[in-house]
Structure 1
């Protein structure tokens, strides 16, 4: 019996050319999902587009936009930073997108900087109105901000530099009274409280240090420093489940400011996650962190444990030239 087939099927050629989608196909699917509010699906399509065409900048830009919508502002900034480093001012819209993400994180000086750069590069660009609105908002905020006088700022900087000197040398007993005075004079300065908890812990008062950071964890004042400190504290106390909870959170945090990024890198090294530590250290701008002895100390350890002893020794030697307390003879501690 003859088989009946639809006419279009009978006419179909025997040599069928398979449809192999390219990056643009996945990109359009991602944009469609994004416009429909399906952010997880949009991210999957964008990742597929990037996998097919990794050098297509527009795909990376759109991925940053999705991260922004998800509230992952640090991750968006990370992508945009990479684009600007590689392509300079070829993609002016990236400067506006950076400005927008910085504003969401509350870093208004950075937001202002990149909004101005965007308007200089593309005065009639698609984001001109948004950039101008952002600058108007920043200007109004600056006019209202009379919290600090120049004299107070100078005094705070003096305290910070004194405390930093002793903290980097792990001379906790000298750091504690300085930090205590800072907290009294500048109660809104949260970093002093985190540094005080750290110095307190390593001076032997572990219970009180943990209590302080756990209190921050339950308040609206939780920060990178809270998770960094608690990860270190629980590691030292052999409470590894609690430690890992904070490390898991830190793995998804990509700070804008190098000092915070350095803290995370050092924490991974201190807690024995050397591969994670090396990856974070390598993303740091060395020019901004070479004034920290902790950079050399904990990067050396991570590099050594990750299997690069020669690089570890090179780092340690460089650090020992910069900081007298990192002596060349002490390199043995890495073994």
Structure 2
């Protein structure tokens, strides 16, 4: 028991803090490594949501990236924590102007000048006031209620992206209580409820929207997504027929309709709407390019699909390897178990830790990763132990810093699995058997604080142990050569691993 508690403490101890990621972001900015800085600040904000330094710096990067809604939410949160901070006041004026919130832009620019009449941003503040005066003569201002709705929606969206659906629900429920006709908030609230498994409540919210705001496209799309995930074929068929008749004018509605149709497999109609936006110069977020690439590829528009995927990778390099043409080729390989969605779901919901670890590893390499992660019931993080949570983080692309002995041991543990996967080339039955054996032995070794000093040799030892057990005609020399290690090294690690072979169910 003490050993288990000690291991848990060591695992938890190398989970970095928000301050840790903030310092790494600052160092990255000093080296002009903007992508790294953005990633570190995103993580810092998740861990320290009330750190004014993090919020301000993150907001600055979002302004530069023209993600003004999120920048406004970040900087407004920082302002609520330090309302007298003149730099934050100026940034709030700046981003308000970018969003067309002219009253806010004017108010905060004047507040900054009152605080810092000769400050470093004084000339910029006067320019904002001149801009507001000009815009007031030619454009309709967004009132304070719209600004409040925008802040609430953005905050809820960020919580949902982080998987914190309960906090998103709190924000959205407060929003609709104050603004009973805020239909986008109802739609997002229904998604949040669906993702925590409250399907009945999610459906009730959408039905309320459709009663009060007849024909609301986002509500209809969400109902179609729910029917798709719940395998309600007849309901989905009816909703599909309705959605394919809709002719949306606004880009927001075209995007929602196109993404929904692509998700449920109506690629040609999805492509029509998403491509219509792309032709007219729409520059979307990663999600837009993802669904454009998917719908284009399966509509036999491969050049458009590849161009869209390049645009996606420029915004989100982690999508490398998940190209629709790559996943399509996997689907033709009957022996590639990483494409078997049902098997992965079965493994990550197993009662055995080793099965769940194997399931997360398959998830990392699966073309179904996005669908499985998005489903409200297939992953229940509250039921996983610390090692399982770390393996899930690894599957989702988290980068470990390798700065402690425990972290190095954990990463090497996974490197053994990656080596086995690389040698076999895909998750064939034999490869899956080797990995299942590894996660059974390796999980015990991890709890015993084993160092996993030579992952390649350990992978060779596991492979040899499996093939010997299966009665395959293979020698240690042949197996060692497959992994470019010596026979003596293979034998050494095989003997070490034998001490961790499970002898009874735990």
Q: TM-score with structure 2 length normalisation? A: 0.33
Q: TM-score with structure 1 length normalisation? A: 0.49
